Amino acid sequence: MSKIHNFSAGPAILPQEVIQNCSDAILNFAGTNLSLIEVSHRSKEFVAVMDEARSLVKKIMKLGDDYEVMYLQGGASMQFVMTAMNLLETKAAYTKTGTWAKNAIKEAQAFGKVDVLGSSEDKNFSYIPKDFVISEDYDYFHCTSNNTISGTQMQTFPVCPTSLVCDMSSDIFSRDLDFSQFDLIYAGAQKNMGPAGTTLVVVKKSILGKVSRHIPTILTYQTHIDKESMFNTPSVFAVYGCLQTLKWIDKQGLSNIEKINTDKANLLYNAIDGNDSFEGTTATEDRSKMNVTFVLKDDTKNAAFLDACAEAKINGIKGHRSVGGFRASMYNALGLESVQALVDVMNKF
């Protein structure tokens, strides 16, 4: 089969060995002669998968026993609700840096006062706001590390005098961070850590149990901690796929992954900046290494450019429907050769 250069924003490209391992498990899971998607989630074979998938997250993030790892359902959108329901007692602080951050704010407002400390909505979310002060009397501060639609990324994180909550759905495990600076991290799996269908939540145990409201059992983090992500039937295939991807990430090492991602981003941004036909759409200092957004200065040529990309077997390059233009999503599993293929098309075009 000929090579397809997959720039899809998500569900996104996975390492080939992960796809192969998942395919094998669909046919015969862990030597059981049962398919992964028909085996009991309480079988010792799958419990071992869940346990390893949870422990490997803490290993890669270099976190201790004061943190818990959960695999939940409902995507990051469910976490917009759960974070506020479990943490917001009086007031919380948010930054509004894109569509998903905006949605998180909307959901949190149902549970208490929300202050938007910084917003880039005035310029179509083309930059990351930085000039704000986080007060210690907030229950938590929430940020979105990478914005898939607008193509911006937080390069650093503020020193936070309260709990720091971060939606890392589209750049988790893409760079080597001090993960201990965060009190709660959540991420939909379908960008950088596995197939769609499960959501990773990493939480510092000490921040839980401080709200006075009644929380429905299934929406309480402590429920899923106590049941080791088995309170209800987990997405067995998605969790297995995450485990295979985490093994691949652990083998690569975050420092090496970050270097490769930087090389890919530099290659494409240099091509955009050096080509009179194209221009980037975000502030230079806030450019995302995961989702590169750009436009043709003459948008009457958009269809021709997409045709040229298709001819070169480049998939998923069209921009989000809400902003138009083009978006190259370059998650961990995308090789440098695929970025070069896109650059070659741009240069010829």
Give one DSSP letter per residue of 282-294, joined into a string. S-GGGB-SSEEEE
pLDDT grade, residue 2 (50/70/90)?
A: low
Q: Which of 2-11, 133-142, 191-200 has the lowest mean pLDDT?
A: 2-11
Residue type, 246: L
| pLDDT at 145 > cutoff 70 | yes
Tell me, which fold does domain 253-348 have in CATH? Answer: Aspartate Aminotransferase, domain 1 (3.90.1150)
pLDDT over 70 for what percent of the chain?
A: 99
The residue from 96, 191, 204, 264 that is catalytic is 191
Query: What's the mean pLDDT in 81-94?
Result: 98
Rounded average pLDDT over 274-295: 96
For residues 70-75, average pLDDT: 98
Pairing of strands 152-153, 163-167: unpaired
Burial 274-291 (b: 16+ CB within 10 A, else e): ebeebebbbeeebbbbbb
The secondary structure of 12-63 as a DSSP string is: ----HHHHHHHHHHHHSSTTSSS-TTTS-TTSHHHHHHHHHHHHHHHHHHT-
- List every span in the chain annotated with CATH 3.90.1150.10: 253-348
Q: pLDDT tens digits, residue range 103-125?
A: 999 999 999 999 999 999 999 99
Where, residue-wise, is CATH 3.40.640.10 in the chain?
A: 16-252
- Residue 1: per-residue pLDDT: 41
d(CA 218, CA 82): 10
Active site residue 191: yes
326-329 and 67-72 strand pairing = unpaired
Strands (E), the chain: 5-6, 67-72, 91-96, 113-119, 140-144, 146-147, 152-153, 163-167, 184-188, 199-204, 278-280, 291-296, 314-315, 326-329
Length in residues, the chain = 349
Mean pLDDT for 12-33 is 97
Selected catalytic residue, list 96, 100, 183, 289: 100
Is residue 167 annotated as part of the catalytic site, yes or no?
A: yes
**DSSP state at residue 141:** E
Predicted model pTM: 0.96
| pLDDT at residue 320 is higher than 90 | no
Confidence (pLDDT) at 112 = 97
Which are the contacts of 266, defined by CB distance < 8 A and separation ≥ 6? none
Mean pLDDT of 306-313: 96
What is the mean predicted confidence (pLDDT) over 65-76? Answer: 98
Burial profile 39-75: b = 16 or more Cβ within 10 angstroms, e = fewer: bebeeeebeebbeebbebbbebbebeeebbbbbbeeb
What pLDDT score was predicted for residue 346?
A: 96
pLDDT tens digits, 207-237: 999 999 999 999 999 999 999 999 999 999 9
Helix (H, G, I), strand (E, B) or coil at 157: coil
From 96, 139, 167, 286, the catalytic residue = 167
Please state, rounded to an integer, the average pLDDT across all residues of the chain: 96
Report whether pLDDT(349) > 90.
Answer: no
Residues 6 or more apart whose Cβ sits within 8 Å of residue 111: 84, 85, 88, 213
Residue pLDDT, tens place only, 173-204: 999 999 999 999 999 999 999 999 999 999 99
What is the assigned CATH class of domain 16-252? alpha beta
Q: Which residue has the tokens 């896109």?
A: 342
